[in-house]
A and B are shown apart, each in its own frame.
Chain A
Amino acid sequence: MPAANIQVSETPLVLYALRRADDALILGHRLSEWCGHAPMMEEDMALSNIALDLIGQARELYTYAAKTEGKDNDEDKLAYLRDVRQYRNLLLVEQPNGDFAQTLVRQFFYSAFADLYWRAMMTSRDTTLAAIAAKSEKESAYHLRHASEWIIRLGDGTDESRQRTQSAIDHLWAFTGEMFAVDDGERAMIHAGIAVDPGTLRGRWMTTLSDVVGEATLTLPQNDWMQQGGRSGRHGEHLGHLLSELQSMQRTFPGQTW
């Protein structure tokens, strides 16, 4: 019999940690899908290494969410035994890999934000989140540099790579607004000095994007209509398929360990 979903008591702090953990796990899983398929050996290793960093960050955040919740859950149950509607990640990170350009544009949009976000979170009044941030900011600095260099190389490359990268930017743009959205629970945590107001990062995020996209001879879309829903569990069709693969072992053999 497949393992049943767990219930999570989503207090504001639990939900806050869970959302960031889900971002890191889902993006890390997406990148791991390139393992053995990347266009060259160096990139195969790079994407797998970045995936490893993100899954490591997810583990710390899940462990903290479980500890804060204080019930019977742990990092594994949170990752393997929640269904699609219980996942709280950004819609951006669940988008399929598509071609190499789409993977790198997704990574670039996220890393440009994560780099600023983790650096700001180092001064959180929550000492565990601040400690996780201090580790993660070092990693995201490398992720951002890696993605930025690829955006420039692809955009300022051949007609084909340029067209594919511009298409990826246009396609993924509508999923970037969700990174800056804040609900009431998070607003209270921002006032308490636990969370960072992502709105304060938007200007610098746009500067990074403009610099890199400009150097890549590409353009950012002008439209500002943004898709939302991931933070409250309303996902696109892609996440269910991703989870069915990510969770298949634990769902089939509940409690199985190595």
Chain B
Amino acid sequence: MVTVLEHDSELRRRAWDAAANVVDPEIPVLTIADLGVLRDVVLDGDHVEVAITPTYSGCPAMNMIALEIELALERAGFRQPKVRTVLSPAWTTDWMSEEGRRKLHAYGIAPPQSSHSRRALFGEQAVTCPQCGSQETELLSEFGSTSCKALWRCKSCREPFDYFKCH
């Protein structure tokens, strides 16, 4: 019995690791574990079901991510893996790992601030330039190249950059 349990937890860990290494197709330096999109991995016998949560309602990367998870699990030896989408609790950038924030910054995207700043209708946000570290930055557009990003510009080094919006 003990061996069976150990076997199960070992299997679950393998399934989790396989799913956790799938990257966001739009920000390939981040894995879905970094993003907090991967919520749960459930084993039932040899069958595995992975729960993910969408970042934004209309995020077009979700279909791709679900497919990539299935492929990753099949490569890891799991047959007919399933991916389930859960809406609640709603995804927030507060779930992004420290490692994820560090990777984003190194990639040239300013990581999200705490979601508490989201509500202020005309509140001032201070976003640090990921290129030169200056805080003299300005918002160019609330909506950037993907749903999750806004477009900013640094007034010190004059470089435009993406800011991962807090959500």
A215 (CB) vs chain B CBs: closest residue: B122
In B113-149, the 8 Å CB interface with A consists of 118-119, 121-122, 140-147
Q: Could you tell me if A139 and B56 are in contact, using CB atoms closer than 8 angstroms?
A: yes
With CB as the reference atom, state the residue of chain B lying closest to A135: B90
Which residues of B sit under 8 angstroms from A149, Cβ to Cβ?
122, 142
B95-126 CB contact bits vs A (8 Å, 1 = yes)?
00000000000000000000000110110000
Q: Contact at A50–B57, with CB atoms within 8 Å?
A: no
Top 9 A-B residue pairs of the complex, sorted by shortest distance between their CB atoms = A56-B58, A56-B57, A131-B88, A42-B141, A52-B58, A46-B143, A131-B87, A134-B90, A49-B143
Verify if A246 is at the interface (C-beta below 8 Å from B).
no
Nearest CB of A to B152, in Å: 11
Q: Please give the distance in Å from B119's CB to the nearest CB on chain A.
A: 7
Most A CB contacts (10 A, CB to CB) among B118, B121, B151 go to B121
Q: Could you tell me if B56 and A53 are in contact, using CB atoms closer than 8 angstroms?
A: yes
Residues of chain A touching chain B, judged by Cβ–Cβ distance below 8 Å, are 42-43, 45-46, 49-57, 59-60, 127-128, 130-132, 134-136, 138-139, 141-142, 144-146, 148-149
Number of A-B contacts (CB under 8 A): 80
Cα distance A56–B60 in the bound complex, in angstroms: 9
B91 and chain A: residue at smallest CB distance? A135
Complex Cα spacing A42 to B87, Å = 29
List chain B residues, Cβ under 8 A from A138.
90, 92, 118, 167
Interface residues of B, Cβ cutoff 8 Å to A: 54, 56-60, 87-92, 118-119, 121-122, 140-147, 151, 165, 167
Contact of B59 (CB < 8 Å), options: A56, A127, A141, A145? A56
A-B contacts besides A52-B147, A138-B118, A142-B165, 9 pairs, CB < 8 Å: A43-B141, A46-B143, A49-B146, A51-B58, A53-B147, A132-B57, A134-B90, A138-B167, A146-B142
Residue of A nearest to B120 (CB): A145
Nearest A-chain residue to B142, judged by Cβ: A146
Residues of B within 8 A of A59 (CB): 57-58
Q: Return B127 CB to nearest CB of chain A, in Å.
A: 15
CA distance A142 to B149 in the complex (A): 12
In the complex, what distance in Å separates the CA atom of A51 from the CA atom of B92?
20
B12 to chain A, nearest CB (A): 26
